[in-house]
Structure 1
Amino acid sequence: MKEGFRQSMAWLHTWSGLLVCWVLFLVFFAGTASYFRDEISLWMKPELHVAAATPVPAVQAVDNAIRMLEKEGAGASRWFITLPDDRNQALGVTWIAQPEPGKKGRGKLERAQLNPATGERLAEVRETRGGEFIYRLHYDLHYMPAIWARWIVGFCAMFMLVAIVSGVITHKRIFKDFFTFRPKKGQRSWLDAHNAVAVLALPYHLMITYTGLVTLMFLYMPFGIQSAYKGDEKAFNAEAFRQAENKKPAKIAAPLAPLAPMLLQAEKQWNGGPVGRVTINNPGDANATIQITREKEHKLSSTRQSMQFDGVSGAYISSIGDETSTAVEARGVLYGLHIANFANPLLRTLFFLCGLAGCAMVATGALLWAVKKRQGYAKELAKGGRIGFGLRLVDGLNIGAIAGLPIAMAAYFWANRLLAVGMEKRIETEIAWFFIAWGTAAVLAHIRPNRRMWQWQLTAGGLLFALIPVLNVFTTNSHLGVTLLQGKGPWAVAGFDLFALGFGLCLIYAARRLGQKKAVAKAKAVEKPVEKNRSETDSSLQEAV
């Protein structure tokens, strides 16, 4: 090793971060938003904003759902009932309808949102993936096979882990530099900003990267399972992640047993823990089974308890998740840390802020490389030359990812409000507008990868976000004038609008600051020739004297 160890780590830190930073920015950006994916989904379904806010006992809500499913889901192979919780006030029902006559395969998945107190369907709810699209985007990337996307994201996450460790080794004064920020110093300022946001949430960055890899560790490292179980992955899953056994339909009609005793028994078994979901397999059949799953609790592990009952007699069959192995529980804790379902609103907000710091860390790292590289072209630029292809490519990718992604996200929310509620393929169209807006921003960024393009795209993203509350005034009855001023409707809806307004104003402020820096740079460029001429004049006068 010709260079010192720290210099080698600096090289590793630079390139391990740069090569994957644009994918990492998407992963961080979408993953950070996913901490509030339930709230985003609620905002994107304004028809649910009038759902009853008064808590309803689980028994009453389930009975209402069963009555509705017996009418509209008769003949279905499976019913799903999702009970309201503190983040979703509607009662959700889903069933797998029978395939149309003459068609083979699985039937269509039907959904409905009910008022938990009455069991009545809520107003026609627009079809949307809501926050679930953003959540899956951060590891499935969309428009490609999921297995490919997860390998790509895992590869980038490993690079991220290497970049974090090598970055800590490289900066021997990392904690001292955390308290140092020198504005208006070019490369030095970007480095100070990068150090600050990196150290501010360093434990979070290490945790979220490592646990992200752990969530898919069986995909990346399947060799131990293949060796221990002789390639039988089903046997491993049955032992490690025990699932309820579902019987095949007997094709003999039989009434469904009352669910109230089963729900009470489950809550007693869980020491008062609330029910989150009820799954009924083969409803109306002699082989019907009922699985009751506990609601997501405020605990670290993502492992959820459930109980299975006979659907006809109501007899208890088995429990799952009451006792788990140390390995399974450890994996559940690491996965739970990553998705943060255990967090209360305040802690979830802290996770969200740490995620934003991660976005800033990736963005400032990418910009720092470009700023440093541009210094090598200073003389050529002064002579009217052009920067190299590599730097131009990185500039375009930086603009398209960092400034273009907020444009795409805002376009997704605007499409949710502007597309007709009952249009066909509405979900696909909303998502298409996300990628259309992002693709347009990326193409324009590569055509003109300069400061002016940064200003345009930051301003566009800022305006689109800042005007979302205004858009709500014309498209919904749950705008800030109602949710904030009158105190009606879910607070999550008001919170989303306020964040959109604040985030939009931050983007506009950043664009304005870029414009001011450009004006200062032009002024300095004009002053230098004037000062040079003055000095030449003064020297000639002295010679004349």
Structure 2
Amino acid sequence: MTAGKRKLIGPALRAAMLWPHTWAGVTLGGLLMLVFFMGSLAVFASEIDRWMMPDTRIGAVEAPDAAVSLDRTVVPLVERLAAGREVRDWYVQLPDERRPVMALRVRTEGGNAGGMATAGGTLLPPVGTLGASSFFYPLHYSLHLRAGFVGYWIVSFASVAMLAGLISGVIIHARIFKDFFTFRSWGQLRRSLLDLHNLTGVLVLPFHLMITFTGIVIILPIVLPAGVQALYGGDVQRFYDDALGNYSRPRAGIAAAAAPLDPMLAEARRLWGGGEPAVVFVYNAGDAASVVRINRDTGDRISLDVQPVFFDGVTGALLKYQPPGPMVAAHRVMSGLHFAAFEHWPLRWLYFLFGLAGCVLIGTGMLHWMEKRRVVHGLPGVGWRSVAALTCGTTTGLLIATLAMMAANRLLPSGVPSRELVEVGVFFLTWIASAVHAAVRTKIDPPWSSQCTAVALLAAACVLMNWITTGEHPVRAAAAGDWAVVGVDAVLVLTAAGAWRVSRRLARRARPEASTLSRLTDHA
């Protein structure tokens, strides 16, 4: 390079990027860890649901050998759930390869009712759990803070910070691509952490950029509704009907008999060119203004466009089928890239592993900051201890809380009142307890070893308790073709083995340092 030329990324730019990169990671690292970890679990939400809901597993219910008839199977189930009350609206989620049962929800004059049923029409007992689909997955994008979309705003802000952190990280680590081929797992801990941080950052950088950007795009219409305000005057319903191809109308107040639903399914399949239905909604049931909406299954393509087809619930006439415009189509493709709802098992496993790599990226960044501050400043102060406790609580603590909820799922009797809420309480109380434990024990080092031991014991206990309570161990599940249970148990076993090895290694390392740490503390 000649003297007249300047480097594209100079020291001044790297120094300018260092502050936002560091403090975005330190302040939001715990939240980003939660988002990435729960997003990774959401990739296999259906499989975790099967593990947490034994009555819905493949071995417990008959597999559908043909398309489910709405008129002969689903409508009688809706009437049973309504229990003589007037039905206002209802929907059914049809079974598929990953979920061999139907999920139904009925809204009546006297309240709501719901449940799960087999493809043959047998209503199953209450599952007594929210499972991954209704707990881990919403925690990923809304933090279960639905009022005023507060959770969406928080996750959106953290996602923007993550995107800025990825870009600034590439600028800061000028030798990041060169250092990609260097990983020193021995010697200085701080150097090893930075090597692992660089390795996961470069190896999975395209995925992290894609998953973060598409997550922001998905939430954007909620947190920045300026376009809806400008084009539709804030009329959200008209926006959904016009731009997204929806259809709605109020009740007429005139009772009318419903048309057969199976011919509507056949017409929807024809309009989709052979696509299969996934969800059926019936609005204004029993009314002259009844509307039937049928959503397409998205497992055969990347786009998350459900291509809704609307029929008149009384006459069966087609009301609306509107292909998406270019902007909506692009949004649906980006949503599909984020959700990974398509049926491609190798890609689904890559999403899961790359999501966990994001957790490693965030965690090693926070640990590197801690080690660097300890080396520079010596005995840590209150700020360091706070970050250390937060890091411990959002890494090993989050794992402990998740596994504790799964263990409670297997231990709690089925007749416990509000059983699903008890499981949620176990999750949050365990998570709080692990964070408090980390804060109390953090003087020089967080209690990594003891919490890794807890992770190992809980993961192994989950496999054992699943065997004891359901009689289904991995070998038997594999013989029955129940790959959801096999997969969850296998990941639990690997988690137990990995956490146990890490805990033993940390314990061996801590023993030689114990006397040194004690002298430092006494001196302080």
Q: 1:468 to 1:245 in 2, by over 3 A?
A: same
Match of 2:37 in 1: 29
Match of 1:271 in 2: 273
1:130 Cα deviation after fit: 3.4
Q: 1:264 to 1:210 in 2, by over 3 A?
A: same
Q: Distance in 1 between matches of 2:202 and 2:176?
A: 7
1:171 Cα deviation after fit: 1.6
* Secondary structure in structure 2 of the residue aligned to 1:58: coil
Asked if the contact 2:389–2:446 (Cα under 8 Å) also holds between the matched residues in 1, the reply is no
Superposed CA deviations along residues 237-260 of structure 1, whole A, max 9, x for unmatched, are 332223122440434242x22222
1:465 Cα deviation after fit: 1.0
Match of 1:324 in 2: 324
Match of 2:199 in 1: 196
The alignment status of 1:373 with 2:367, answered yes or no, reads no
The alignment status of 1:55 with 2:48, answered yes or no, reads no
Higher deviation after alignment, 161-170 or 214-223: 214-223
Asked if the contact 2:245–2:324 (Cα under 8 Å) also holds between the matched residues in 1, the reply is no
* Counterpart code for 1:502: L
1:410 Cα deviation after fit: 0.5
The alignment status of 1:415 with 2:418, answered yes or no, reads no
Asked if the contact 1:59–1:263 (Cα under 8 Å) also holds between the matched residues in 2, the reply is no
Asked if the contact 2:62–2:118 (Cα under 8 Å) also holds between the matched residues in 1, the reply is no
* Match for residue 471 of structure 1 among 465, 475, 486: 465
* Secondary structure in structure 2 of the residue aligned to 1:81: strand
Match of 1:430 in 2: 423
The alignment status of 1:287 with 2:289, answered yes or no, reads yes
Asked if the contact 2:449–2:506 (Cα under 8 Å) also holds between the matched residues in 1, the reply is yes
Q: Distance in 2 between matches of 1:302 and 1:89?
A: 21
1:134 Cα deviation after fit: 0.5
Q: Distance in 1 between matches of 2:87 and 2:327?
A: 37
Superposed CA deviations along residues 331-371 of structure 1, whole A, max 9, x for unmatched, are 11111111111251211100111001000000000000000
Q: Percent identity?
A: 37
* Counterpart code for 1:490: D
* Secondary structure in structure 1 of the residue aligned to 2:121: coil
Superposed CA deviations along residues 301-357 of structure 1, whole A, max 9, x for unmatched, are 21111222222322222214xx21111111111111111112512111001110010
Higher deviation after alignment, 457-466 or 234-243: 234-243
Match of 2:19 in 1: 11
* Secondary structure in structure 1 of the residue aligned to 2:491: helix
Higher deviation after alignment, 174-183 or 445-454: 445-454
Q: 1:234 to 1:281 in 2, by over 3 A?
A: closer
Match of 2:348 in 1: 348
Q: 1:218 to 1:292 in 2, by over 3 A?
A: closer
Superposed CA deviations along residues 447-489 of structure 1, whole A, max 9, x for unmatched, are 11154711111110121012211011221133324213xx125
Match of 1:403 in 2: 396
Asked if the contact 2:104–2:115 (Cα under 8 Å) also holds between the matched residues in 1, the reply is yes
Superposed CA deviations along residues 128-157 of structure 1, whole A, max 9, x for unmatched, are 343321011112223673622222211111
Q: Distance in 1 between matches of 2:360 and 2:23?
A: 18
The alignment status of 1:213 with 2:205, answered yes or no, reads no
* Secondary structure in structure 2 of the residue aligned to 1:271: coil
Match of 2:248 in 1: 245
Q: Distance in 1 between matches of 2:225 and 2:123?
A: 45
Match of 1:540 in 2: none
1:520 Cα deviation after fit: 4.7
* Secondary structure in structure 1 of the residue aligned to 2:103: strand
Q: Distance in 2 between matches of 1:180 and 1:490?
A: 41
Please say which structure displays the higher CA radius of gyration. 1
Alignment of structure 1 residues 111-260 onto 2, 5 Å: 111-116=114-119, 118-142=120-144, 145=147, 147-184=149-186, 185-254=188-257, 256-260=258-262
Match of 2:476 in 1: 482
Higher deviation after alignment, 79-88 or 517-526: 517-526
Match of 1:76 in 2: 87
1:12 Cα deviation after fit: 2.8
Q: Distance in 1 between matches of 2:365 and 2:220?
A: 27
Q: Extract unaligned runs of 5+ from structure 1.
A: 100-106, 379-385, 527-545
Q: Extract unaligned runs of 5+ from structure 2.
A: 1-9, 519-524
Q: 1:316 to 1:38 in 2, by over 3 A?
A: same
Q: Distance in 2 between matches of 1:260 and 1:234?
A: 28
Asked if the contact 1:400–1:445 (Cα under 8 Å) also holds between the matched residues in 2, the reply is yes
* Match for residue 98 of structure 2 among 76, 84, 87: 87
* Counterpart code for 1:303: D
Q: 1:313 to 1:399 in 2, by over 3 A?
A: same
Q: 1:251 to 1:419 in 2, by over 3 A?
A: farther
Q: CA RMSD in A?
A: 2.3
Match of 1:104 in 2: none
Asked if the contact 1:275–1:295 (Cα under 8 Å) also holds between the matched residues in 2, the reply is yes
* Match for residue 302 of structure 1 among 294, 301, 304: 304
Asked if the contact 1:30–1:137 (Cα under 8 Å) also holds between the matched residues in 2, the reply is yes
Q: 1:204 to 1:227 in 2, by over 3 A?
A: same
* Counterpart code for 1:283: A
* Counterpart code for 2:21: H
Q: Distance in 2 between matches of 1:233 and 1:144?
A: 18
Q: Distance in 2 between matches of 1:144 and 1:240?
A: 24
* Counterpart code for 2:107: I
Q: 1:133 to 1:273 in 2, by over 3 A?
A: same
Superposed CA deviations along residues 185-212 of structure 1, whole A, max 9, x for unmatched, are 2211111011001111000111111111
Higher deviation after alignment, 73-82 or 153-162: 73-82
Asked if the contact 2:70–2:261 (Cα under 8 Å) also holds between the matched residues in 1, the reply is no
Q: 1:178 to 1:62 in 2, by over 3 A?
A: farther
Q: Distance in 1 between matches of 2:231 and 2:288?
A: 39
* Match for residue 457 of structure 1 among 444, 451, 455: 451
Match of 2:75 in 1: 66
Q: Distance in 1 between matches of 2:34 and 2:517?
A: 37
Match of 1:532 in 2: none
1:391 Cα deviation after fit: 1.0
Q: 1:125 to 1:448 in 2, by over 3 A?
A: closer
1:268 Cα deviation after fit: 1.5
Runs of at least 4 residues off by over 4 Å:
520-526
Superposed CA deviations along residues 521-540 of structure 1, whole A, max 9, x for unmatched, are 469999xxxxxxxxxxxxxx
Structure 1 length-normalised TM: 0.87
The alignment status of 1:497 with 2:502, answered yes or no, reads no
* Counterpart code for 1:68: L
